[in-house]
Amino acid sequence: MELEIQKIDPSRKKPIPTDDSKLGFGQVFSDHMFMMEYDAGKGWHSARIEPYRNLDLDPASLVLHYGQEAFEGLKAYRGKDEGIYLFRYLNNLQRLNRSCDRLVMPNLDIPFVAEAMKQLVLLDQDWIPKSPGTSLYIRPNIIATDPFVGVRPSNRYLFYIIVGPVGAYYPEGFNPVSIFVSDQYVRAVVGGIGASKTAGNYAASLLAQMEAKEKGFTQVLWLDAKERKYIEEVGTMNIFFKFGDEVVTSPLTGSILPGITRDSVIQVLEKWGIRVSERLFSIDDVVAAQKDKTLKEVFGTGTAAIISPVGTIQYKNVDYQVADGKIGELSQKLYDYLLALQYGYEEDSFGWVEKIG
Ligand SMILES: *Cc1c(COP(=O)(O)O)cnc(C)c1O
C-alpha cells in the first residue's frame, strides 16, 4: 500500500504552544493526522497523512452506539542530541492487534502502520516539546463505521493516528498519590474486555473515579470482580507492591491491561537482580504487610506517568500510609532509569529505544 502525504497549507498551520509548563495532557493536537479505511472484501485502503480535521461520520456509525473500537497510547520523545526517540512502539501495535482480535476488528499491517506513524511524527516534529519530561503523545484509534443500529461486527472501519504535545506528568515534581480501593464497583471481569484497550472499560470506570476524586483521591485501585479481594490495577496504570525484598504485581489473568511499562519494569528489575513476581495477592495481604511494616513501596506504571509512587491507600474508610507518604527508593530509581532510557540518555541494553530523527 502506498502512503499518500497531503501537507497542510502553511497559512492554515496552527500556532505551536510555546510555554511547555502549560501543556497539560490531551488537549492540543498537531497539524496532521494519519488515516486509512477498511472495507470487508477489500481490506485496508486509502492510507494517507492529511491535515488534522473533524471526522465525517454517519450518526448511526456502530462505534457511537455499541463501542466497537480499540486504541493505543505511546509517546515520541525529544531527547539526547535533540534526537527524536520512540520506545517499544511495536509492542503497542501488537497490543492494538490483540485488542482488535477481541473486539472482532481487522488486524493492522504492523510494519506499514509503524512507518506511517514515524512519517507523521517526523512531519509534525516541530510539535515535539523540548522541556524535560514533555513529549508528543501518539493516539492510534480504530473505530467501527458501518451506519447500522444493530449489534454485530462492522464491515467498515476507520483507523487514524493523531499526535499532540503533552506536558511533564509531574510539573511540580515527582510526588506520591493517594488511591482509593473500590469495593463497590469493578472495572473488568475475567472473560470480558479488561485486557483490551477499548472504550467500554474506561466508560465503566468513570463513576468510581469521580467518587474517588470527590473524596480527595487521585485514582481508584480495582479489586478482582469475583472475590473482590485480589489487587488488579489502578486507573490507567498497572500496580506494583514491594513486600520486604520482593516486588509483586498482579498476573495477566485477562481482566487487567498488559501494560508495556509494567513489562519494562519487570525486565529492568530482573536485570538489576531484584526479585519480582507476577502472582495473585489480596488487599488483606497489603493491609497485613502495612501493619507489620513489610510493605515498603507501592507504585503505578504506565506510559503517561512512567512511575507513580503511592503514598496512601484507603480501604473501607481506613487510610494506610506507604513509605511514610514519601517516594520510595526503588520507585525513584525506576523512574530515573526509564526516563533516561526513553530520552536516549541511558545505554539501551534491551533494544527498546529507536532514534527516528
Ligand atoms: C494503558 C493502560 C495501562 C498502561 O499501559 P502502558 O502500556 O504501560 O502505557 C494500564 N492499565 C490500563 C487500564 C491502561 O489503559
How many domains, the chain? 2
Query: What is the position in ligand 1's atom list of the atom closest to the CA of 260?
Result: 7
What's the alpha-carbon Rg for the chain, to the nearest Å?
Answer: 21
CATH of the domain at 267: 3.20.10.10
Query: What does the alpha-carbon distance between residue 78 and residue 86 come to, in Å, rounded to a whole number?
Result: 9
pLDDT of residue 78: 97
Mutate which of 236, 255, 256, 342 for ligand 1 pocket (most atoms within 8 A of beta carbon): 236
Q: Are residues 187 and 224 in the same domain?
A: yes
Per-residue pLDDT at 218 exceeds 70: yes
CATH of the domain at 82: 3.30.470.10
Last residue of a domain, one of 166, 200, 216: 166
| Whether residue 142 is found in the same domain as residue 216 | no
This prediction has a pTM of 0.97
Residue 250 Cβ < 6 Å to ligand 1: no
Q: Which of 166, 198, 228 is the C-terminal boundary of a domain?
A: 166
pLDDT computed for residue 171 by the predictor: 65
Q: Which of ligand 1's atoms lies nearest the C-alpha of 237?
A: 10
Q: 331, 313, 307: which is closest to 231 by C-alpha? A: 313
Residue 172 is predicted with a pLDDT of 64
Task: State how far the Cα of 43 lies from the Cα of 157, in Å rounded to an integer.
Answer: 10
CA of 197 to the centre of ligand 1 (A): 8
List pLDDT tens digits, range 52-109: 999 999 999 999 999 999 999 999 999 999 999 999 999 999 999 999 999 999 999 9
62 contacts 144 by C-beta, under 8 angstroms: yes
Q: Which three cell numbers stand for residue 213?
A: 476524586
pLDDT at 168: 82
Tell me the percentage of the chain whose pLDDT exceeds 90. Answer: 96
**pLDDT tens sequence across 179-192:** 999 999 999 999 99
Q: Are residues 37 and 68 in the same domain?
A: yes
Whether residues 310 and 181 fall in one domain: yes
DSSP state of 317: T
Mind listing the pLDDT tens digit for each residue in 131-177?
Answer: 989 999 999 999 999 999 999 999 999 999 999 999 987 766 788 99
**What is the pLDDT of the chain when averaged over all its residues?**
96
Q: How many Å apart are CA 234 and CA 228, to the nearest integer?
A: 14
Dist. CA 184 → ligand 1 center (Å): 22
User: In 10 A of CB 112, how many CB atoms?
Assistant: 15
- Residues 162, 235, single domain; the answer is no
Distance from residue 238's CA to the centre of ligand 1 (Å) = 6
Ligand 1 neighbour 219 (Cβ under 6 A) = no
